[in-house]
Amino acid sequence: MSYCMLPVLRQRRHAEWLERERLAQEEFRLRCEREETARKRKEEEEERIKEEWEAQQRREEEEKEQKQQAKRDREEAVQKMLDQAESQLENGGPWKNPEAPDFGTEQDRANCPFFLKTGACRFGDRCSRKHVHPLSSPTLMIRGMFATFGMDQRSRDDYDTDACLEYSEEEVLQQFVDFYEDVLPEFKGAGKVVQFKVSCNFEPHLRGNVYVQFDTEEQCREAFMMFNGRWYAGKQLQCEFSPVTRWKTAICGLFDRQKCPKGKHCNFLHVYRNPGNEFWEADRDLHMSPDRGGGGVGSFTGRFSERSNRSSWTERSQSRRGDRERRSRSRESRVSQRRRSSACPRQDALRWPQPSNGESLHWT
């Protein structure tokens, strides 16, 4: 009986071995397919990275070639102009300088030069020349964001020259410092700020304008979406893209030397100096002038170093704090006497909110 069962057991074990072999072969096949799929995916990823790198290299080469071509074109134009000058001198003809481009100048009868340089025009929509509003720009302008008591009084009566005499220059400057420390971190949250200017002109179209220049146009658009329509110190902000990108042409050249004959009624920008001379590198457009040589940068750096050897802005402010407090107490006493003697009460509700020590104006 046992000899009869041996073939059956042998066949059963053989069938089990065949089943195990089939399962092992199936598992081996699936593992090979997974490895092949991973290998192909890795090759595709490496091919994609290689193509992106080659495309980036091609773009960089094209940009480099375009810059070199533009440089060669400028050199050829200069050489052509020199050749023409030499030919005119050889022929005995009189030499005269070539005509300057008219775009953005007084000779440009189509576009308003003041709007192109400062982003604002005193004639507004009544200007006879065209105001080109850029669809995108690295500079954001907020009209009338910064205001002081004198500015609010002048907005009510532009012909009253004594409206801001109750506030000294030191007090107005302290108000600007509080404003600067309050709003600049908010703008830095939208992107890298390369320039921040606040106008101190008394002209209505420039009064209290804030200019914020970002590193890229995308950051400026992000700031526009963040701040346009927001409320600050009881005012709704009206943001717009400004054509101002070169501050050397926007800021009055005589203002820094205190020799502007028009004073704060000038149609070019008169701006507050940022605390600690922050963003001073962009004041003379050094980072936007690739054609400038090292001499210009060195000379300006030397002038800046001479300024830094003097007492800093912060030290001067601290030294004047005691005098400012005494003048403030005397001014308050004079104002109280005027209120008691006046028949009409003053409208202090229009006054810009003054932050106390340790506090800041709040955004809404």
Q: Mean of the pLDDT values across residues 236-259?
A: 87
Give 95 or 204, the one with higher predicted confidence.
204
pLDDT attached to residue 306: 38
Q: Which residue has the tokens 């070539």?
A: 98
pLDDT tens, position by position, 181-238? 999 999 999 999 999 999 988 888 898 999 999 999 999 999 999 999 999 988 899 9
Q: Mean of the pLDDT values across residues 236-256?
A: 87
Sign of the C-alpha dihedral, residues 100, 104, 107, 110?
Answer: positive
Q: Which of 73-77, 326-330, 337-341 has the lowest mean pLDDT?
A: 337-341
Give 228 or 279, the one with higher predicted confidence.
228
Give 154 or 270, the one with higher predicted confidence.
270
Residue 171 in this model has a pLDDT that exceeds 50: yes
pLDDT attached to residue 59: 92
pLDDT attached to residue 85: 75
Residue 296 in this model has a pLDDT that exceeds 80: no
Q: Which of 1-15, 42-56, 228-242, 273-287 has the lowest mean pLDDT?
A: 273-287
pLDDT band at residue 242, thresholds of 50, 70 and 90?
very high
Per cent of the chain over pLDDT 90 is: 32
Burial 151-166 (b: 16+ CB within 10 A, else e): bbbbbeeeeeeebbee
> 139 φ, ψ to 5°?
-110, 130
pLDDT attached to residue 355: 47
- Coil, helix or strand for 81? helix
pLDDT attached to residue 322: 60
pLDDT band at residue 87, thresholds of 50, 70 and 90?
confident
Q: Mean of the pLDDT values across residues 53-78?
A: 91
Q: Mean of the pLDDT values across residues 311-316?
A: 50
Contact 250, 269 (CB under 8 A): yes
pLDDT band at residue 37, thresholds of 50, 70 and 90?
very high
pLDDT attached to residue 291: 40
Contact 164, 148 (CB under 8 A): yes
Give the contacts of 161 (CB within 8 A, at least 6 positions apart): none
pLDDT attached to residue 101: 54
Contact 206, 269 (CB under 8 A): yes
pLDDT band at residue 255, thresholds of 50, 70 and 90?
confident
**Closest-CA residue to 138 (of 98, 191, 181, 89):** 191
Q: Mean of the pLDDT values across residues 48-69?
A: 92
Per cent of the chain over pLDDT 70 is: 66
Strand ranges for 134-173 from DSSP E: 139-142
Record the pTM: 0.52
Q: Assign domain 113-287+315-350 to its CATH superfamily.
A: RRM (RNA recognition motif) domain (3.30.70.330)
Q: Are strands 239-242 and 139-142 parallel, antiparallel or unpaired?
A: antiparallel
Q: How many CB atoms lie under 10 A from the CB of residue 247?
A: 21
Query: Amino acid identity of 118?
Result: T
Q: Mean of the pLDDT values across residues 61-85?
A: 88
**Closest-CA residue to 213 (of 146, 127, 147, 282):** 282
pLDDT attached to residue 230: 92
pLDDT attached to residue 28: 93
Residue 45 in this model has a pLDDT that exceeds 70: yes
Distance between CA atoms of residues 331 and 337, nearest Å: 10
Average pLDDT, the chain: 76
Q: What torsion, rounded to 10 degrees, do the Cα atoms 122, 124, 130, 131 define?
A: 90
pLDDT tens, position by position, 113-155? 888 888 899 888 889 888 888 899 999 999 989 987 766 655 5
